[in-house]
Protein backbone atom coordinates (compact mmCIF):
# COMPACT_ATOMS: atom_id res chain seq x y z
CA UNK A 1 0.00 0.00 0.00
CA UNK A 2 2.65 2.44 1.01
CA UNK A 3 4.79 1.63 -1.98
CA UNK A 4 1.95 2.05 -4.45
CA UNK A 5 0.94 5.36 -2.85
CA UNK A 6 4.47 6.59 -3.18
CA UNK A 7 4.51 5.52 -6.79
CA UNK A 8 1.32 7.45 -7.46
CA UNK A 9 2.67 10.57 -5.80
CA UNK A 10 5.83 10.36 -7.86
CA UNK A 11 3.83 9.78 -11.04
CA UNK A 12 1.58 12.78 -10.33
CA UNK A 13 4.52 15.02 -9.52
CA UNK A 14 6.08 13.96 -12.78
CA UNK A 15 2.94 14.63 -14.83
CA UNK A 16 2.24 17.96 -13.19
CA UNK A 17 5.72 19.37 -13.45
CA UNK A 18 6.56 21.54 -16.44
CA UNK A 19 10.19 21.45 -15.30
CA UNK A 20 10.91 18.10 -16.92
CA UNK A 21 12.15 19.65 -20.11
CA UNK A 22 14.38 16.73 -21.01
CA UNK A 23 11.68 14.06 -20.84
CA UNK A 24 9.25 16.25 -22.75
CA UNK A 25 11.93 16.71 -25.39
CA UNK A 26 12.24 12.94 -25.66
CA UNK A 27 8.47 12.71 -25.98
CA UNK A 28 8.40 15.33 -28.75
CA UNK A 29 11.00 13.31 -30.56
CA UNK A 30 9.21 10.01 -30.05
CA UNK A 31 5.99 11.52 -31.44
CA UNK A 32 7.80 12.77 -34.56
CA UNK A 33 7.19 16.45 -33.74
CA UNK A 34 10.86 17.20 -34.33
CA UNK A 35 10.56 16.01 -37.94
CA UNK A 36 8.96 19.39 -38.66
CA UNK A 37 9.69 21.52 -35.57
CA UNK A 38 12.80 22.78 -33.83
CA UNK A 39 13.02 24.52 -30.44
CA UNK A 40 14.68 27.65 -31.79
CA UNK A 41 14.61 27.55 -35.57
CA UNK A 42 11.58 27.85 -37.85
CA UNK A 43 11.59 24.85 -40.16
CA UNK A 44 8.61 23.14 -41.85
CA UNK A 45 6.65 24.24 -38.79
CA UNK A 46 7.32 27.29 -36.62
CA UNK A 47 9.89 26.94 -33.82
CA UNK A 48 8.52 26.13 -30.37
CA UNK A 49 9.97 29.39 -29.05
CA UNK A 50 8.21 31.30 -31.83
CA UNK A 51 4.93 29.56 -30.96
CA UNK A 52 5.43 30.42 -27.27
CA UNK A 53 5.93 34.10 -28.07
CA UNK A 54 2.92 34.22 -30.37
CA UNK A 55 0.53 32.49 -27.99
CA UNK A 56 1.67 34.08 -24.74
CA UNK A 57 -0.93 36.84 -25.15
CA UNK A 58 -3.88 34.51 -25.76
CA UNK A 59 -5.98 33.85 -22.69
CA UNK A 60 -6.89 30.39 -23.95
CA UNK A 61 -3.51 29.80 -25.57
CA UNK A 62 -2.77 26.65 -23.58
CA UNK A 63 -6.06 24.98 -24.47
CA UNK A 64 -5.88 26.14 -28.07
CA UNK A 65 -2.46 24.60 -28.52
CA UNK A 66 -3.46 21.33 -26.86
CA UNK A 67 -6.35 21.17 -29.30
CA UNK A 68 -4.19 22.02 -32.31
CA UNK A 69 -1.78 19.21 -31.44
CA UNK A 70 -4.72 16.82 -31.90
CA UNK A 71 -6.47 18.44 -34.86
CA UNK A 72 -3.63 20.00 -36.82
CA UNK A 73 -4.38 23.31 -38.54
CA UNK A 74 -6.25 24.54 -41.56
CA UNK A 75 -9.83 24.77 -42.76
CA UNK A 76 -10.57 21.11 -42.05
CA UNK A 77 -9.29 21.31 -38.51
CA UNK A 78 -12.04 23.67 -37.39
CA UNK A 79 -9.41 25.90 -35.83
CA UNK A 80 -9.01 29.63 -36.12
CA UNK A 81 -7.86 30.75 -39.60
CA UNK A 82 -4.55 31.90 -38.09
CA UNK A 83 -1.55 30.17 -39.60
CA UNK A 84 2.17 30.62 -40.08
CA UNK A 85 2.68 30.11 -43.75
CA UNK A 86 1.48 27.95 -46.58
CA UNK A 87 2.08 24.62 -44.82
CA UNK A 88 -0.51 23.10 -42.50
CA UNK A 89 0.11 20.98 -39.47
CA UNK A 90 -1.33 17.55 -40.34
CA UNK A 91 -4.06 16.08 -38.10
CA UNK A 92 -3.32 13.40 -35.55
CA UNK A 93 -4.89 10.73 -37.77
CA UNK A 94 -1.82 10.84 -40.02
CA UNK A 95 0.74 11.29 -37.23
CA UNK A 96 1.88 9.35 -34.17
CA UNK A 97 -1.09 9.68 -31.75
CA UNK A 98 -0.68 11.86 -28.65
CA UNK A 99 -2.97 11.57 -25.60
CA UNK A 100 -4.30 14.55 -23.63
CA UNK A 101 -1.75 14.28 -20.83
CA UNK A 102 1.10 14.17 -23.34
CA UNK A 103 -0.33 17.09 -25.32
CA UNK A 104 -0.62 19.15 -22.11
CA UNK A 105 2.98 18.33 -21.17
CA UNK A 106 4.15 19.37 -24.62
CA UNK A 107 2.24 22.65 -24.51
CA UNK A 108 3.47 23.51 -21.01
CA UNK A 109 7.01 22.94 -22.21
CA UNK A 110 6.48 24.95 -25.41
CA UNK A 111 4.91 27.87 -23.51
CA UNK A 112 7.78 27.85 -21.00
CA UNK A 113 10.21 28.72 -23.82
CA UNK A 114 9.16 32.33 -24.36
| Residues found near ligand HEC in the complex (CB under 6 A) | 31-33, 35-37, 44-46, 51, 65, 68-69, 73-74, 82-85, 87-90, 95, 98, 106, 110
Q: How far is the CB of 65 from ligand HEC (least distance, A)?
A: 4
Q: How far is the CB of 14 from ligand HEC (least distance, A)?
A: 19
- Determine the Cα angle at 13 with ends 33 and 51, to 5°: 30
Geometric angle at alpha carbon 92, from 24 and 89, rounded to 5° = 85
CA distance 53 to 43: 16
57 and 63 Cβ atoms separated by less than 8 Å: no
Q: From CA 38, how far away is CA 16, in angstroms rounded?
A: 24
> Nearer Cβ to ligand HEC, position 8 or 30?
30
Give whichever of 68 and 108 is closer to ligand HEC, judged by the CB atom.
68
Neighbouring residues of 45: CB distance < 8 A, sequence distance ≥ 6: 36, 37, 84, 87, 89
Quick one: 13 or 43, whose CB is closer to ligand HEC? Answer: 43
Q: Tell me the closest approach of the beta carbon of residue 112 to ligand HEC, in angstroms.
A: 13
Q: Shortest distance, CB of residue 26 to ligand HEC, whole angstroms?
A: 13
Amino acid sequence: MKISQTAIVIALAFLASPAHGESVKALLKAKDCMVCHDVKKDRIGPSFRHIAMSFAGFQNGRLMLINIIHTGTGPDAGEMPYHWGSTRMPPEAVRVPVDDVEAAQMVDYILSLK
